[in-house]
């Protein structure tokens, strides 16, 4: 009986660690990619600089898009108590205060005033990945596997 329980717990641990690395796409500047469209024609690349999230808008070819009528709203914090965050446009990118480690950043992007908002989320997991030594929220392990 103990052997079965240990085997079950071991396989559960492996599954959880595999899922922690799944689905992370990195952009041309090493930031986390968020989808800003339903058809993958618009993306946001999230990086951190000077203690703030910097979100660049990219096209389908991962090339920068000039900001004009696009808007971004953001909230963050613990899941049950997320608060609205200040969003600024600086040097052609959106700048948002970082949330605490382990908390969620939730953004709503609109291509223009008439567009429907697209919601994207990321958990700001700053724990170090054992394999690539990068923070988990921008872990490079998944991309290395996909390129092989």
* Tally of domains in the chain: 1
Residue among 130, 74, 137 nearest 102 (CA):
137
Q: Which pLDDT belongs to residue 32?
A: 97
Q: Which pLDDT belongs to residue 13?
A: 40
Q: Please report, in tens digits, the pLDDT of each residue of the chain (148 residues total).
A: 555 444 444 444 444 444 444 568 999 999 999 999 999 999 999 999 999 999 999 999 999 999 999 999 999 988 788 999 999 999 999 999 999 999 999 999 999 999 999 999 999 999 999 988 999 999 988 554 444 4
Q: Which pLDDT belongs to residue 3?
A: 54
Distance CA 101, CA 126 (A): 6
Q: Whole domain around residue 138: which residue ranges?
A: 2-147
**Phi and psi torsions of 51, nearest 5°:** 75, 15
Q: Which pLDDT belongs to residue 2?
A: 52
CA-to-CA dists, residue 44 to 9, 19, 23, 53, 139, angstroms: 37, 22, 15, 11, 17
Distance CA 69, CA 78 (A): 30
């Amino acid at each position: 009986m103990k052997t079965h329980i240990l085997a079950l717990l071991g396989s559960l641990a492996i599954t959880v660690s595999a899922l922690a690395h799944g689905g992370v796409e990195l952009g041309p500047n090493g930031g986390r990619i968020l989808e800003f469209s339903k058809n993958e024609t618009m993306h946001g690349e999230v990086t951190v600089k000077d203690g703030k999230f910097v979100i660049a808008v990219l096209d389908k070819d991962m090339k920068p898009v000039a900001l004009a009528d696009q808007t971004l709203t953001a909230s963050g914090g613990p899941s049950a108590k997320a608060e609205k965050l200040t969003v600024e446009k600086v040097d052609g990118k959106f700048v948002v205060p970082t949330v605490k480690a382990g908390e969620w950043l939730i953004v709503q992007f609109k291509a223009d005033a008439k567009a429907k908002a697209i919601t994207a989320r990321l958990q700001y997991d700053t724990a170090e990945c054992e394999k690539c030594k990068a923070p988990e929220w921008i872990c490079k392990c998944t991309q290395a596997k996909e390129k092989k």
